[in-house]
Amino acid sequence: MPDLFSNVANIQITADNTDEVLRLMESAKAAALEEMGQVGETYAKMKCPVDTGRLRNSITHTSDGNSAYIGTNVEYAPYVEYGTVKTTAQPFLKPAATEHTDTYKAIVKKHLENA
């Protein structure tokens, strides 16, 4: 049986591609976070209750290189999300983030595999 490792001593590394690999990983991470934000925004808009459409139309996303954020600047959004003593909660942001983890994992995997 031939020794598979007999030529290991002859292997030479002539280039260090660490910087390129790190750059590709950062690029894949940024693209994945942006796509996750877009998808999360869509999920939030689909789940958002609609009266006038103002709340749904205000939902946006952003990413900062380490996280993706989904939100709204409409002042009454917390009352819709969490409810009040007089109204029942109608969550739309939290479910968008927490109920689709398999989708978000698939997005990360896709971008890392294509890096």
What is the DSSP secondary-structure string of 27-56? HHHHHHHHHHHHHHHHHHHHHS--SSSHHH
CA-to-CA dists, residue 6 to 12, 13, 14, 67, angstroms: 14, 17, 20, 47
Residue 74: inside a domain? no
Give the structural domain span for 21.
Answer: 17-69+91-113
Domain count, the chain: 1
Report how far residue 66's alpha carbon sits from residue 64's, in angstroms, rounded to the nearest whole number.
Answer: 6
One digit per residue, the tens of pLDDT, for the chain of length 115 reads 556 666 666 777 788 889 999 999 999 999 999 999 999 999 999 999 999 999 999 999 999 989 999 999 999 999 999 999 999 999 999 999 999 999 999 999 999 999 8
Report how far residue 110's alpha carbon sits from residue 105's, in angstroms, rounded to the nearest whole number.
Answer: 9
Residue 77: inside a domain? no
Residue 109: inside a domain? yes
